[in-house]
Each structure stands twice: as C-alpha cells, then as structure tokens.
Structure 1
Amino acid sequence: MFSLRKLLPPARTLVETVPYWLACTAPVAAGALVALAAWYPGHWQVVLLLLPVVWSRVRGRIAALAIWVGYYLAGARDIPVVSMRFFSGYGDLTRPEGLVLGVLFWIAQACVLATPWALLKPGPNACAARYAICAAVATVLVTVPPLGFIGWLSPVYVASTLFPCWKAPGVMLGLTAIACATSISRARRARHVAVLLLILAAVARSIASAPDLPFGWIALDTRFGRFDQSSYALLYARMQQIQAITKRAFTAGANVVVLPEEIVGLWRPAMDYWWHDDIQAFAAANRTLIIGTDLTVSSTPFRYTDSAVIVGANHGRVDSRQPVPVALWRPGAAISAIRGSLMQPYAVVTGKSVAFSICYEDLLWWPHWRLLLQTPDVLLSLSNGWFDSDLALAHIQRQGIAAIARLSGAPLLRAVNGEGPPIR
C-alpha cells in the first residue's frame, strides 16, 4: 500500500533543517536592514558597523556570506530596473532582455562582493586579533580594484561619519573601527580601542565645519532626459536649450557654471561651430563654463572618454577614471568608453583647485585617492541620471559622494541631468 511516510524525511531531519535555514535567512535580513538604514531611505552610515559585528557572531561561511549578500542585494536593488531602462533606451536590448541582464548582474555583484567576507571568515575558536585583521582585509578587498570596480556600498563609508575632514587618517581610523567591531565582545583590548575611537570621533565631529563654496559658482540641474543623438536637428535643439540656460545663469551673476555629465553628448566638429561665439564671449567676460561631454579617442574600434571640459576664461579637461562597467566601459567591444588616468591632477578654475567626480565615480572610493591627501577648494560632481532619477540609486549616489566630500573637507557642488521628455 502507498505510504506518504516513505516520501517524507524523518521528523528529526525536518526539525534539524529548519534552524539551519533560519540561521541563513536571519543574516540576509540583517544585512538588508543595515543597507536600508545606512543608505536610502535611511541616512545613518554609522550603522554599517553592525555588519562586522553580526558577521563575527554568525557561525559558518554560508551565514557569513548571507549577511553581505543581503546587504548588497538591498543596497543595489535598483540594478534590474536601471539595466532595463538604460539598454532599452539606447536600443541595445529589449526591455525584457535588459531586465534579465539586470537581475543576473544584481545577483552576481552581491555574491562577488560578499565572497571575501565568506572566505576570510575565521573559525569559531579564532582569536579576536584574527577576526579584526580579516575584517580589515575584506573591507580593503571590496573597496579597491579589481573588486573595487564595482566597489559601491563599501563599509569604509563609516569613516566619513565618524571622522569628517580627517582624510587618510580618517579612513585608517574607520578601518580600525570596522576591525574593532568584530572583536569588541571577544577581547578587553578591543573595548579599550573602541572607547578611544569614540573619543576621537567626538573630537573630529566637534571641530569639523561645513566648507563654503567659492563665490559665484553655480551647478545647473536639468531635466532633459535621454539624449537622442541620431540627427543634427536633435543635436541642435539640445544645444539651443543648454546655451539658453547657461546664458541665464551667467546673466544672473554666476562666474562659473557647471553642466551635468554627457549633457551635450559626443563632442563633434559641429559643436565647435555652435559653441564658438559663446565660448569667446565667456572668455571676454572672464566667465568659465564646465561641460560634461564625450570626446573621441579612436574611430576603429570606437573609443571615447567620459569627460568634463573647461572652456571660457579657463581651459582644461578631466576624464572619468572609471566609466560605468558594462554600460559604458566595455573592454573588447566595438564601442567603449576608456578609463582616464588616476594620476590626473586637480584642475584650476578661477584660481581654485577643483576635483571632479563623474557619475559612477560618486559610488567609489579609489578614484578619489587624491582627496584623502590634499583637500581641493571644491569638489564637482557631474552626473547624467536620466535612467534612475526616480529611484533609490540616485539618492544613494548623492549620499556616496557627499560622504567622500565630508571626509576630505571639500565643499561639494553637483550638476545632475534627470528624467524628462526627450527632445524631438
């Protein structure tokens, strides 16, 4: 006779299995909650210290992986929608194909960034020093290349909250805080270090002051949406709009006007012709315009830089050190942005030293290494977020670059292009 009992595992096995899955689910939920509290909709990056605490307390590498997978999945939850909008917007993929690619990348990035934390998870009998060292090493691995190419949401952001304006020493103390968090319940010495860090954090926050932007500097946020560059008529229509808002800003008293990333698309010979008279007028009036644009490097294969170009009374150029992987930076593809040199110096505009952060760089630490050594007079962030301006990612990007500016002590000025109707 048929027996259902033969198809079911023994009751003891079921009882033993449930706690195991609960032990894996709880860290995922904990990581997700920390992501929501530290990033949008929350803005308390100090709670990032809870991640190494929980990581040190869970048992086994699977649970250690789970907490960080939950964190990166929740923090980067907009990747599927962004992928769908971006690739379908440019006709590279259909919307369903873009969504599927986004889901795969969303899961892959979480697993990749969580892997160092799983592999470096010490055994249950490891000493407190080993936990501290492994946490510090894992933090560095997910912050700098090669993993740092997608090193968003790094726990090192806690340094900007604890030690504003302290630059490189602040980063080192932030790493120490992360390491200490893993061992605070394991060693008395770690508790002593934690007290010292709290005192230093209180001192840093009490003496930190909000830096002032240079007088007459204005960043223009736009709502032009995706730029269709398929015809010169569309190019010229966009150009007229940009020139109009730029002239209004200068007429209102601005000395330096900053436009968003890629706002004029690819800089073509026609651009020189359309902008020539305006640039000459800006120079004569001692005014400077900073434009986000793409500059051709080679035609076959087509390579370009995602750049900020300085024209008018000052001249210069800064290239993005890390264009968006897959979307813009596609090594080996027929069309790809290329990475600018990490050694690019600060630009000089009206006598002020200027650091740049171009779009995706807002989410990363390593392109801004110079900010940790020398504070510029202003940090300019240029972004073209037509595909994510209504999503949490736009808020998280703003939080990321604001944290970097806070740690360096530099005033931040952002120019962002958001969603809007395409120019017809």
Structure 2
Amino acid sequence: MRREYLRAMTLVFASVAIGVVGWSGHALLLPVALGFPVLWSIARTRLVVAFVSAGYFLAASRGLPQGVAAFYSSDIWPGLLLWLCASLGFVAVHTVLWTRNSGVRPFRYLVAAGLMAIPPFGITGWAHPVTAAGVVFPGWGWWGLAFMTAGLAGLVTRTWPAVATALTGLWLWSAAIWTEPTLPEGWRGVDLQMGASLGRDAGLQRQRDLRATFQNAASDGASYVVLPESTLGFWTPTVERLWGGALLASAATVIAGAALLDATGYDNVLVAIDSRGGRIVYRERMPVPGAMWQPWRSLFEQSGGARADFFANPVVPIGANRAAPLICYEQLIVWPILHSMLHDPDFVVAVGNGWWTGGTSIVAIQRAAARASAKLFAKPLVIAFNT
C-alpha cells in the first residue's frame, strides 16, 4: 500500500510539473504537455487519474484565481471557485473515460481529447496537449494535426517510450530551426499599455491619443494597423464619425476591438475603419465563460452578458485578404482556430485585453498558443494586446 501511495503521489506531482512547464508561456515548451497522456495511461486507479488530471489542469491554469480577483477587484475566493469549477469538465471527462484495458485505452483517450476540443466541454478546454502540434510539426497543417493525434494515441499505449522518443526528436529538431510566424505584408499589430482604462475611458482625449497611435504606426507604410480588444470601447455612431473623419486623408485601415451593445446584451467585435467609414468585421465566437458569456441569464429572463456566436464568421474578408480572427479567450481553446483553418484563411489576427492578468502567465500563454497555431498551418500572424 505504501508503494502504491508513493507511486500515486509521484504521478500527481509530475502532472503539476508538466502543467507548470508546458503552459509557462514559452511556445517551444508546449510539447512538455504531451507528458500528461502518458501519466493518464500509467495511472492504476480511477481516483489517481482524477488527481493527475486535476493537478495538470489546475497547474496549467494557475493564473486564473489572481486574474479573476484583479478583474472584479475582489479577494481571491471568487477566482478560486471559478478555477475549481472550470477544472470539473476536464477532470470528469478524463476520469470517466480512463480504463485499465490497454487495448481500448487509445480510443478512450482520443474520445477524451476530442470532447475537450469542441463544445460543450471544449468551452473550457484549456491546456489541450494537441496545441503542441504547431511546435512539433510546424508547417505540416492538417497532416501535422493528424500525426499529433496519432502521437497522442501512441502515448497511452505500452509502446509510449518509443512514441515519446520520436516526438521528442521532432520537437528538438523543430526548436533548433524555429522561427517566429511572419507578419502579413502591409500589416502591423500594436501593443498598448493602458491597463484597465482601455475601453472604459470614453473621453475625447483618449480617442485622440488612440488615433495618434494608429497614425504613428501607419506612418511607416503599414496599410492595416491592428489595435487590441476593447480599444474603441462601445461602438457607436459618434465613435465611428470621430474615427472616420480622422481617416479621410489616410490610405490605411485600422482594425480595433469594440463592444456593440443592445437591449439584450452585447457582442465583442472587431471593427475595420477606413476613409469610407467603419464596419463590424468579426463577432467573437467564444467570449470568456462566466465573466462575459453568461447563458444562464436567459433562464431567469435577465438581459446582459456577451453573446457567443460559436461557429459564425470563421474567416472575414479584409481588403483583398481573408483573415482568421481570434479574440482573447479564443486563443486558449482548440476549436476556434481549427474552425477557421477549415476555410483556409490567408493569415491569423490575434488580439486581447489582458490588463487583468498582471503577475500571471496568461497573456504569454495566449501568445504562445496563437504562435503555435499559426506555425502549424504556416500562416502569418498579427498580434495586438493591451496590458
């Protein structure tokens, strides 16, 4: 019994270490997450699997309690509660589907991985090991995703040491020749450091400052300048006229985040503004559950919260190109980027407003996941974040 207890504790500690290192915010360390399926497969009881799954997921998402506390200006307890609740789906899926039968174990794990990649479980499907495909198989596209899926299945068989050795070799080779995703020609992403005031300060001076930021970026020859999520605040006719008037003499276009409000809630959107005016080009498919997306409100006949468009607008036309936008939370889960890649966009646009993540690795993880996704499909990438 003592030996089994020590073995179980070792697996749990290993799962925590894998979650911390794999999801540290460095793209080249994402393949460390591939250790989780190995631990899942060698656990000997369902209870140990539950603790291993919880250790991995909670370690990977460790920044959430502190981030939620900052977002709501509250103590740590609401964040801890959300952190634990978010882990329930991941733990339940992997615990229920675990089996001692080595013959069906690969199939069971692939079912678990599939469930955590698509809604409804995929809504909180953070820290998915398949994200590492962009590092292990950069540029391989759908073939790379297929090989990674096969690799995940192999890691839960008795031949996992051979599979792990092969994947490690590919990972090291990729790391040796790694280059960051390129920028699309004529595009530029602008990071801001405006903290919580971005999107909340609706004053004229703030809009003028943002316009000056855009004009400085465009002065270097950029035709399209991307600003972070929530940059414009609420998208209104007044804001449209203010920006449209400033762009009358400009050949450049600004792509910026905003919120479109109505009587029942709001949409988190990206807006394109040029000399002809502004238009909404993208509505966020998956806002942050709880903080933004609150579907339970409709059950109590209450309004408010962000709408989730799930499988709408996977790619959007901007100029002569087709972009795959990812707003904030969409960079942490699997299905939005795969949904977009089914339509073969020309490049990826990743924006976020991460002021509330100070002191955590959340924004770094978002950036790493976006880079890995773009590298997997060999797509240029534009990133713009506010911190």
Task: Provide TM-score, normalisation by structure 1.
Answer: 0.81
Aligned pairs (5 A) from 1:27-38: 27-38=11-22
Residue 283 (structure 2) aligns with:
319
* Greater radius of gyration (CA): 1
Which one of 339, 349, 367 corresponds to residue 380 of structure 1? 349
1:82-124: CA deviations, max 9, x gaps?
1111112xxxxxx12xx2111011122223212211111112x
Which one of 221, 232, 236 corresponds to residue 253 of structure 1? 221
Question: How far apart are the structure 2 equivalents of 1:71 and 1:167?
Answer: 27
1:335-392: CA deviations, max 9, x gaps?
1110135241522333222111111111011112244334432211110111114421
Q: How far off is 1:235 after superposition?
A: 2.5
Residue 103 (structure 1) aligns with:
80
Residue 275 (structure 1) aligns with:
243
Q: Does 1:308 align with 2:266?
A: no
Q: Which runs of 4+ in 1 moved over 4 A?
A: 18-21, 193-211, 228-231, 313-316
Change beyond 3 A, Cα 1:321–1:253: same
Which amino acid in structure 2 is aligned with residue 168 of structure 1?
W
Given that 1:289 and 1:311 are in contact with CA atoms closer than 8 Å, whether structure 2 keeps it comes out as yes
Aligned pairs (5 A) from 1:263-412: 263-282=231-250, 286-296=251-261, 298-299=262-263, 301=264, 303-312=265-274, 317-331=281-295, 332=297, 333-340=302-309, 342-412=311-381
Question: How far apart are the structure 2 equivalents of 1:197 and 1:76?
Answer: 24
Deviates more, 1:352-361 or 1:362-371: 362-371
Q: Does 1:224 align with 2:208?
A: no
Question: How far apart are the structure 1 equivalents of 2:84 and 2:314?
Answer: 36
Q: Secondary structure at the match of 2:228?
A: coil
Question: How far apart are the structure 1 equivalents of 2:119 and 2:155?
Answer: 25
Higher relative contact order (CA 8 A, sep 6+): 2
Q: Does 1:131 align with 2:105?
A: yes
Residue 421 (structure 1) aligns with:
none
Which amino acid in structure 1 is aligned with residue 223 of structure 2?
N
Q: How far off is 1:395 after superposition?
A: 1.0
Q: How far off is 1:259 after superposition?
A: 0.6
Question: How far apart are the structure 2 equivalents of 1:199 and 1:85?
Answer: 41
Deviates more, 1:344-353 or 1:235-244: 344-353
Q: Does 1:112 align with 2:89?
A: yes
Q: How far off is 1:58 after superposition?
A: 1.5
Change beyond 3 A, Cα 1:74–1:273: same
Which amino acid in structure 1 is aligned with residue 33 of structure 2?
L
Question: How far apart are the structure 2 equivalents of 1:198 and 1:370?
Answer: 28
Change beyond 3 A, Cα 1:341–1:326: closer
Residue 122 (structure 1) aligns with:
99
Residue 149 (structure 2) aligns with:
175
Q: Secondary structure at the match of 1:337?
A: coil
Q: CA RMSD in A?
A: 2.8
Change beyond 3 A, Cα 1:205–1:166: farther
Residue 150 (structure 1) aligns with:
124
Residue 39 (structure 1) aligns with:
23
Task: Provide TM-score, normalisation by structure 2.
Answer: 0.89
Q: Secondary structure at the match of 2:379?
A: coil
Residue 135 (structure 2) aligns with:
161
1:30-51: CA deviations, max 9, x gaps?
1111112212166422222221
Given that 1:291 and 1:308 are in contact with CA atoms closer than 8 Å, whether structure 2 keeps it comes out as yes
Q: Secondary structure at the match of 1:263?
A: coil
Structure 2 residue runs of 5 or longer lacking an equivalent are none
Change beyond 3 A, Cα 1:58–1:268: same
Residue 62 (structure 2) aligns with:
77
Which amino acid in structure 2 is aligned with residue 358 of structure 1?
I
Percent identity among equivalent residues?
28
Change beyond 3 A, Cα 1:345–1:80: closer
Question: How far apart are the structure 1 equivalents of 2:169 and 2:45?
Answer: 34
Q: How far off is 1:132 after superposition?
A: 0.9
Q: How many residues align?
A: 379
Question: How far apart are the structure 2 equivalents of 1:289 and 1:224?
Answer: 18
Which one of 56, 59, 62 corresponds to residue 44 of structure 2? 59
Given that 1:82 and 1:388 are in contact with CA atoms closer than 8 Å, whether structure 2 keeps it comes out as yes
Which amino acid in structure 1 is aligned with residue 112 of structure 2?
A
